Amino acid sequence: MLNQTIEKIRTLDQEAMGAAKDRQNNLTKPAGSLGRLEKVSIQLAGILRDPMPKINDKVVIIMAGDHGIVTAGVSAYPQEVTSQMVLNFIHGGAAINALAGHIKARILVVDMGIAFEFEPHPGLVSNKIAKGTQNMLEGPAMTLEQAEAAVMVGIEVVNAEIEKGLDIVGTGDMGIGNTTPSAAIAAVLTGESPAKIAGRGTGVDDEGFVRKISAIETAIRVNKPDPKDGLDILAKVGGFEIGGLTGVILGAAAHNKAVMLDGFVSTAAAMIAVSIAPEVRQYLISAHRSQEYGHQLMLDWLELDPLVDLHLRLGEGTGAALGISIAEAACKVLSEMTTFAEAGVSEKEE
């Protein structure tokens, strides 16, 4: 199924993009005056294969998992906060609930590997690979089979949402300690040192920050992930929720759906997805630049320009929700504005 998904990922529809660009250039405004909104609408035309793209069905998928690396003191919060925040999501009390409600998007929360057993709840999908990853200081975070399983879960989850009508998916995450594997993934793929990539995550103090950088360096040295093999990187220094988001991204691209990336963790998943299937890059929109130190280096590697910089560093898909709002606005500008000819407005003289 993974290979079948990868084989379905095509280049964007150039004809639809050309038509969208022509319309943008003839709307009642100076050409290019709406900046990124114009570029996003053209990209969405190519992704959705429609010269007048519309975003009606919006979903934020939050993948959640725990990490063995937390025992190394890389996070300011204890591991049980992962499960506590997931309960907050499904009961509607988190930032992502407020922002998803604001843009009228559905939220889907997926347990990819939390060290806690939840009671069944309609707002939670259980696809637990294991109760957290292994401590990657001592060996691979997961087996290659578990990495593949995590990606496959993500594909299956997004496929089910696509069957319901999804137009755009926002990526969200929850997992105490997960900026550490995310930084490790980015360090391996960019070739930059962990000290240039790692940030303070949930707010570790100076001593915790030093431990975090040291842990990333050790995990890479111990596991020797192959920078040319995305699944190998995911297995050795990744996380179950990162694998799930990788699958969401691949599955969305395979069905010509747009992917709005949140911050640091989502971008790490996007890097894995692009390393597996380079065509995926065209389907990605970066919602924002995170405050995490190395996020810009990750965006540079992906060749993405974030829509906004609001100093966010929460995760959960909060930035992605805001980005979806901008994408929807871009589509409405393209379809609801009139052209000079339609409005009877004189165009600029040559």
| Residue 30 CB neighbours (<10 A) | 9
Based on the number of CB atoms within 10 Å of its own CB, is 291 exposed (0-12), middle (13-18) or buried (19 or more)? middle
Cα–Cα distance measured from residue 118 to residue 125, given in angstroms and rounded to the nearest whole number: 10
Residue 185 corresponds to which amino acid? I
Task: Output DSSP code: residue 292.
Answer: S
Residue positions annotated with a catalytic role: 316
> Can you read off the two tokens belonging to residue 226?
């192959």
**DSSP element (H, E) containing 22:** helix 14-26
Give the max Cα distance, the chain.
70
Cα–Cα distance measured from residue 174 to residue 31, given in angstroms and rounded to the nearest whole number: 41
**DSSP element (H, E) containing 345:** none
Q: How far is CA 130 from CA 149, 209, 216, in A?
A: 11, 27, 22
